[in-house]
Structure 1
Amino acid sequence: MAIKVFKKITTGGMPRERLLQRLAEAGIQHNDYARVLFNDQHFTTSEPHQGNLVVVAVKELGLNDGGTSSEIFAAASRQGLALCTLELAAHFRLQYMDQPEGPYLTVASAKTRDDEEYPNGFYLRRLNGTLWLRGYRATSDYIWEPASAFAFLINRRKDLCRLPLLPE
C-alpha cells in the first residue's frame, strides 16, 4: 500500500487555554466529550513542531471486515504509521477548515484511561456547514466499518516506515 501525505501539520507552541480560544474564534463547535478530553491531564501541549498526516480507511490497512481500535492501530503501526496526540487533533481541526461536508474523520490517538465510559479521542466533521471537533467513545470490542477513515502520523523513524510515499 502506498500512502500520500494528506496534510502537513504544525502543532504545539500554544497553551491549552489559547488553543481553546482559537477554536472558539474560528467558530469550531465541540461536545461534552471534547470538553472532558481538553481537561484531561494527558492533554498536554508541546513545543512547536511539524508532522505529516495521512488519512486511511480501515480496509486500506488490510482489515477488509473492519476492526477494533486495537486491531486498527496495530495494523497502522505495522505500516509505519503512528498515533496522534490529543493536542494534535485540535491543531488539525484549526488547519483543516476546508473539510468537506459529510463523514467524520477520526484522529487516531491512544486512549488516556482504561474506562469504557471515558472518551477515546477526537474526530473532525463538517455537518450542516458547521465545523466540529468532537470527542467520542467506543468500547474496546466496537468494530469500526471498513470505510471508516482515520488520521495517523507518518512515523518519523525511517526504519519503521515501510510504505512508499506518493508525491504530494
Structure 2
Amino acid sequence: MRIENGEKIYPNCLTITRTVEVGGLTKSQLIQKMQQHSILMNEFGERLFAEANFTTSAKTYTLNTIELTVRDLGLPEGATTTQLFKRANDLGLELCPLELGPNLRLRYLDQPEGYSGQPSRQHQAPYGSITIASEILTEDENFPKGFYLRRIKGMLWLRWIHCR
C-alpha cells in the first residue's frame, strides 16, 4: 500500500520489531528493577504508575512489538490519538497493554541518545523517543495517557504521554 506521494506504509515500510516478555512482576517490583538500572521517571510517569487502573499481569507472556512512525501509518500530516489508534487497527495492529512501557524500558537499555541538541517539538513526540500505543485509562485531559521511552543526556527515562 502506498499513499499519494509514493511513500510506503505499514506493512510495506521499514519497521523495528522487538519481542518483549511482559508480566510476572508487580508494579513495585517493576519500579525496583528500574531503580536498579538507574531508569528515571518524571512526576506524571509516577502518577500513572500509581493509578489503580494500571495493573500488571501475574502471569508472564510474550509480546511482539512493531516500531513505526505516524507517517508509516499513512498519516504524514499527523493525527489525533483516536485517528492513530483507528488507523493502526485498520492495518491489523493492536494497542499494547500499559505494562509494556516499563517492561520495554527495562529491556531496551541501549536506546540511542534522543536529545543530541535537537530543538523541542510542539505537539510531537520528542526526537529519539518511543511512544507506547496503549489503552487510555481515563479521558481526564490532565491525566497521563501512557508512557514513552527516551534517553536524554545519557540517562534512561520512562516518561508520560500528554495528549488530548
Q: TM-score range by the shorter chain?
A: 0.7 to 0.9
Q: Is the 8 A contact 2:150 2:156 kept in 1?
A: yes
User: Which residue of structure 2 lines up, in the alignment, with residue 129 of structure 1?
Assistant: 154
The superposition leaves residues 98-119 of structure 1 with CA deviations (integer Å, 9 ceiling, x where unpaired) of 1111121111112111111111
1:75 aligns with 2:100: no
* Residue of 102, 106, 111 corresponding to 1:94: 106
Aligned length: 139
Per the alignment, in what secondary structure is the counterpart of residue 60 of structure 1? helix
Greater strand share, structure number: 1
Q: Is the 8 A contact 1:5 1:52 kept in 2?
A: no
> Residue type of the partner of 2:49?
F
Residues of 1 paired with 2:151 and 2:72: CA distance? 23
Aligned-pair identity (%): 38
Ranges of 4+ aligned residues in structure 1 off by more than 6 Å:
none
User: Which residue of structure 1 lines up, in the alignment, with residue 29 of structure 2?
Assistant: 18
Give unpaired runs (5+ residues) of structure 2. Answer: 1-9, 115-127
> Residue type of the partner of 1:123?
Y
> Looking at both structures, which has the greater relative contact order when contacts are Cα pairs under 8 Å and sequence separation is at least 6?
1
Give unpaired runs (5+ residues) of structure 1. Answer: 140-168
User: Which residue of structure 2 lines up, in the alignment, with residue 118 of structure 1?
Assistant: 143
- Normalising by structure 1, what TM-score? 0.80
> Residue type of the partner of 1:15?
T
> Residue type of the partner of 1:36?
R
* Residue of 41, 50, 58 corresponding to 2:52: 41
Per the alignment, in what secondary structure is the counterpart of residue 144 of structure 2? coil
What is the CA-CA distance between 1:5 and the residue it aligns to? 5.3
